[in-house]
């Protein structure tokens, strides 16, 4: 079996009597997927910290926009750790996961005190560990990892202290030199003295149209020694919009990394790489700047994934209440189409304001489902009453709190299964990251809630042994693309997996969405399939390699140079 390093992931016992959310979906193989089941395990995780928003009577705008999150293995022990990010001074907290699944506060010992908005995580100096870039309401900060989860601030030395209000950030290798560059989305030229109000004169948070937008920033990595600002040369300073979400990937399969930015009340940007580090915003011509009615919307977070199983990356963008979220289906040529109505993704979001979002296979049936974190930015037309079995939100946020969404993919149409806790509980939610925290083969969720504890939702879907009338339908793979020349995972690699139910597209792409970062390893649900036939990897520099397949329910590492080049 060429080029595979296989590791069996240990399972974890499910807590009894969980409050769950059920849904079932058919599989291409004819079996039935187990019901989707989540339970909130925050209380038993050891995390009881309330993430401060910095909200006060002046209604500072960063307070309602903040709540970032990173889920990554900071100390190299194989367990995923958490970094929760708050706009309030000194509000950030770093938690290390222990062998028993509990989390311990290691903020001071790790050197990660401070405040911020969002982050990006990746190996910036190719030394084999994960570094952290922290976006802020200026200046940003860069922390390099010593390999043991202790971080040193190298912002000044690396020319990484980007000014202004930075929001989300994405890692990409623009020039294919093997070192990760950094795209930083920036929001607005915020003036804290600006006073905003609703109709009737009641004080409230300002919106983006009260301020000028900012151009984004592209930092080129100088071989692991620092950054050079190449924004102007790249052409991205041509736009000054209110950027919030960003994802970097090769959307048109031409071998060059492109960048998609969700802008708040401005048209979205689709920066197509022209080669040589130069980008052109092709969002309007490719149908990804506006919705199907030709309107720009309040773009917040982005989910990227092959939702329709046609082997290209689709996009899902979250929006303001009354706008609905928007699903952009990738047609390659001529670009994208607004397929929100076709996929039945509009109605569930119409009365909500979406932020963090993720395409992820919640039930391991082989297609991508959706989770969305919600919370208003201005007082809602009517406050929502918490269900009898759910805790009320903090008093200040009672008129802003909303439930989150879980949407299950049923043959290209999405069913809203958010009818029970924990999805019905009200909060102000922002960043959202899917990750297998307990290493049992399904994707859990972590959600950042300003003025509340970060919520850990454990996925119990595949803890059932089998469905009643068919084979076990909860198989999975975790796939890593590793380049030994770079001593790190190959961010941006495109992976095609040949399964019994057809090919599936994966990317070595840390989920970013809104103010967040997650693991670069790709998760693949296999349903009833017990093995896959082969893997094909298109590495970031264009090399294509084929690897033999293998059995399900394990971690697979595809090592560059050990496959069959073609």
Instruction: Measure the CA–CA gap between 561 and 566, rounded to whole angstroms.
Output: 12
Task: Spell out the per-residue pLDDT of the chain, length 566, in tens.
Answer: 344 444 333 333 333 333 444 444 444 444 455 688 999 999 999 999 999 999 999 999 999 999 999 999 999 999 999 999 999 999 999 999 999 999 999 999 999 999 999 999 999 999 999 999 999 998 999 999 999 999 999 999 999 999 999 999 999 999 999 999 999 999 999 999 999 998 778 999 999 999 999 999 999 999 999 999 999 999 999 999 999 999 999 999 999 999 999 999 999 999 999 999 999 999 999 999 999 999 999 999 999 999 999 999 999 999 999 999 999 999 998 899 999 999 999 999 999 999 999 999 999 999 999 999 999 999 998 889 887 766 788 889 999 999 999 999 999 999 999 998 899 999 999 999 999 999 999 999 999 999 999 999 999 988 754 444 444 568 999 999 999 999 999 999 999 999 999 999 999 998 878 999 999 999 999 999 999 999 999 999 999 999 999 999 999 999 999 999 98
> Per DSSP, what are the bridge partners of residue 273?
279
Residue in the structure block whose two tokens are 């030394």: 127
Residue 6's pLDDT is: 40
Q: What's the gap between Cα 229 and its chain centre?
A: 25
Q: Nearest 5°: CA angle at 166, between 163 and 170?
A: 120
Of 484, 502, 476, residue with least CA distance to 3: 484
Of 92, 72, 65, 41, residue with least CA distance to 430: 65
Residue 34's pLDDT is: 61
Instruction: Measure the CA–CA gap between 210 and 173, rounded to whole angstroms.
Output: 35
Of 374, 357, 363, residue with least CA distance to 410: 363
The total number of residues written for the chain in this structure: 566
Instruction: Measure the CA–CA gap between 259 and 231, rounded to whole angstroms.
Output: 13
Of 389, 173, 199, residue with least CA distance to 277: 173
Peptide bond into 422 cis (omega under 30): yes
Residue 53's pLDDT is: 96
Residue 17's pLDDT is: 38
Residue 389's pLDDT is: 65
User: The dihedral of CA 152, 158, 161, 162: what is its sign?
Assistant: negative
Residue 114 contacts residue 54 (beta carbons within 8 Å): no
Sequence-separated contacts (24+) of 77-82 with Cβ below 8 Å: 78/439, 79/439, 80/435, 80/436, 80/437, 80/519, 81/149, 82/47, 82/446, 82/454
Instruction: Measure the CA–CA gap between 213 and 263, rounded to whole angstroms.
Output: 9
Two structure tokens written together for 168: 């989300």
Instruction: Measure the CA–CA gap between 46 and 524, rounded to whole angstroms.
Output: 29
Of 219, 270, 272, 221, residue with least CA distance to 241: 270
Count Cβ atoms below 10 Å from residue 79 Cβ, excluding itself.
17
291's CB contacts (< 8 A; 6+ apart) are 297, 323, 326, 338, 340
Two structure tokens written together for 236: 């991205």
């Amino acid at each position: 079996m060429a080029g595979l390093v296989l590791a069996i992931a240990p399972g974890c016992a499910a807590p009894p009597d969980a409050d769950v959310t059920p849904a079932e979906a058919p599989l291409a193989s004819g079996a039935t997927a187990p019901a989707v089941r989540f339970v909130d395990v925050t209380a038993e995780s050891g995390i009881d910290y309330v993430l401060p928003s910095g909200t006060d009577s002046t209604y500072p705008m960063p307070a309602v926009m903040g709540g970032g999150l990173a889920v990554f293995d900071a100390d190299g022990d194989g367990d995923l750790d958490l970094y929760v990010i708050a706009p309030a001074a000194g509000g950030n907290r770093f938690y290390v996961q222990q062998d028993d699944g509990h989390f311990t506060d290691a903020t001071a010992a790790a050197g990660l005190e401070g405040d911020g908005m969002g982050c990006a995580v990746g190996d910036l100096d190719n030394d084999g560990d994960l570094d952290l870039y922290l976006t802020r309401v200026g200046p940003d900060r860069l922390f390099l990892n010593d390999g043991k989860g202790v971080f040193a601030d190298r912002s000044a030395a690396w020319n990484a202290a980007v000014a202004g209000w930075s929001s989300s950030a994405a890692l990409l290798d623009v020039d294919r030199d093997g070192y990760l560059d950094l795209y930083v989305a920036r929001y607005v030229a915020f003036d804290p003295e600006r006073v905003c109000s609703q109709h009737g004169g009641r004080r409230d948070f300002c919106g983006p149209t009260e301020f000028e937008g900012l151009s984004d920033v592209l930092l080129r990595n100088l071989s692991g020694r620092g950054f050079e600002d190449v924004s102007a040369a790249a052409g991205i300073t041509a736009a000054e919009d209110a950027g919030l979400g960003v994802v970097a990937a090769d959307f048109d399969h031409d071998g060059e990394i492109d960048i998609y930015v969700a802008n708040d009340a401005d048209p979205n940007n689709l920066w197509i790489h022209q080669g040589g580090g130069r980008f052109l915003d092709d969002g309007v011509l490719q149908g990804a700047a506006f919705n199907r009615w030709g309107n720009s919307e309040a773009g917040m977070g982005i989910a990227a994934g092959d939702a329709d199983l046609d082997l290209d990356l689709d996009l899902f963008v979250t929006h303001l209440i009354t706008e609905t979220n928007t699903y952009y289906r990738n047609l390659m040529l001529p670009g994208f189409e607004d397929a929100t109505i076709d996929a039945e993704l509009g109605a569930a979001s119409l009365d909500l304001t979406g932020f963090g979002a993720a395409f992820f296979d919640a039930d391991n049936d082989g297609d991508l489902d959706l989770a969305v974190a919600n919370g208003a930015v201005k007082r809602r037309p009517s406050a929502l009453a918490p269900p009898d079995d759910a805790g009320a939100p903090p008093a200040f946020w009672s008129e802003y709190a909303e439930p989150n969404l879980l949407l299950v993919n049923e043959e290209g149409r999405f069913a809203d299964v958010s009818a029970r806790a924990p999805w019905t509980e009200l909060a102000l939610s922002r960043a959202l990251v899917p990750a297998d925290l307990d290493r049992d083969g399904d994707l859990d969720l972590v959600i950042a809630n300003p003025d509340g504890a970060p919520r850990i939702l454990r996925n119990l879907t595949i803890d059932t042994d089998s469905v009643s009338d068919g084979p076990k339908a909860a198989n999975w793979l975790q796939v890593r693309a590793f380049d030994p020349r770079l001593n790190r995972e190959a961010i941006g690699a495109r992976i095609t997996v040949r399964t019994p139910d057809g090919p599936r597209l994966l990317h070595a792409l840390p989920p970013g969405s809104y103010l967040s970062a997650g693991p670069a390893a790709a998760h693949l649900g296999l349903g009833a399939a017990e093995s896959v036939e082969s893997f094909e990897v298109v590495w970031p520099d264009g090399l294509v390699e084929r690897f033999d397949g293998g059995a399900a329910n394990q971690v697979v590492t595809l090592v560059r140079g050990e496959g069959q080049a073609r």
